[in-house]
Amino acid sequence: MKGFYLYLGVLAAVFLIFQFIPSYEKVNPPVDKSKEIKAPTKVMDILKRSCYDCHSYETRWPWYADVAPMKWIVRRDVVQGRKALNFSIWQDYDEEKREKLKKSIYRSVNLAMPLPQYLWLNPEAKLSEEDKKIIKNWASDGKGYIKIDIR
Ligand code: HEC
């Protein structure tokens, strides 16, 4: 029994030390609505539900974004997600970048996005077949299918 308590104590100590390891800041910079993406309501609803937590400045931070080790993953995903694609500053992107991102969005909804570690704790964010169709239709301007360039 003594060994067990020692083990618990070590675990608790490690957990405590984890909390002092610095990680990314948890910030939601102010949103200028004029810079936000403009898309049909149906598309916006899906983006807001399933993508905005990592791809906008309007992240709904969960409680575990304050608890290591989970916070390392959550905060990193948000920082990297915003860097790759940020719907809050979409209007600042030039035409070329928007087109590129839309192609990328078209492809991402098939499999990669939202990230699996996010879906695990946010099952409501999972895209239905109908959601995917709506996003793909919007991302390809109604053309439906985008030829994937081979580079
Ligand atoms: C849990 C956080 C998270 C969620 C939720 C999420 N993403 Fe991402 N997404 C990321 C991260 C992190 C990256 C960057 C990956 C990298 O750089 O390797 C990324 C990258 C992307 C990219 C690639 C951008 C580029 O540079 O070409 C697209 C497109 C994308 N996400 C679309 C979406 C869409 C659409 C949704 C919603 C259906 C979504 N993501 C939801 C975290 C997320």
Q: What is the pLDDT of residues 40-72, one digit of tens each?
A: 999 999 999 999 999 999 999 999 999 999 999
CA distance 92 to 44: 18
Residue 22 CA to ligand 1 center (angstroms) comes to: 24
Mean pLDDT of 72-76: 97
What is the three-class DSSP state of 6? helix
Tell me if 73 CB under 6 Å of ligand 1: no
Nearest to 55 by CA among 19, 29, 26, 79: 79
Q: How far is CA 40 from the centre of its chain?
A: 20
The reply to whether 146 falls in a domain is no
Mean pLDDT of 90-118: 95
Residue 83 CA to ligand 1 center (angstroms) comes to: 9
Decide: 92 and 35 in contact? Cβ < 8 Å: yes
Burial code (b: 16+ CB inside 10 Å, e: under 16) for 83-106 equals eebbbbbbeebeeeeeeebbbbbb
The reply to whether 59 falls in a domain is yes
Tell me if 113 CB under 6 Å of ligand 1: yes
**How many structural domains does the chain have?**
1
The reply to whether 129 falls in a domain is yes
Residue 97 CA to ligand 1 center (angstroms) comes to: 15
The reply to whether 149 falls in a domain is no
Range of the domain at 107: 2-139
Q: What is the largest CA-CA distance in the chain?
A: 68
Residue among 24, 50, 79, 85 to mutate when testing ligand 1 (max atoms within 8 A of CB)? 85
What's the full length of the chain, in residues? 151
Mean pLDDT of 68-96: 97
CA distance 138 to 101: 12
Burial code (b: 16+ CB inside 10 Å, e: under 16) for 35-48 equals ebbebeeebbebbe
| The predicted structure's pLDDT at residue 1 | 74
Please determine, for residue 151, whether its predicted confidence score (pLDDT) is greater than 80: no
How far is the CA of 121 from the CAs of 64, 102, 111, 147, in angstroms? 11, 26, 17, 33
The reply to whether 151 falls in a domain is no
The reply to whether 144 falls in a domain is no
The reply to whether 132 falls in a domain is yes
- Count CB atoms within 10 A of the CB of residue 125: 18
The reply to whether 43 falls in a domain is yes
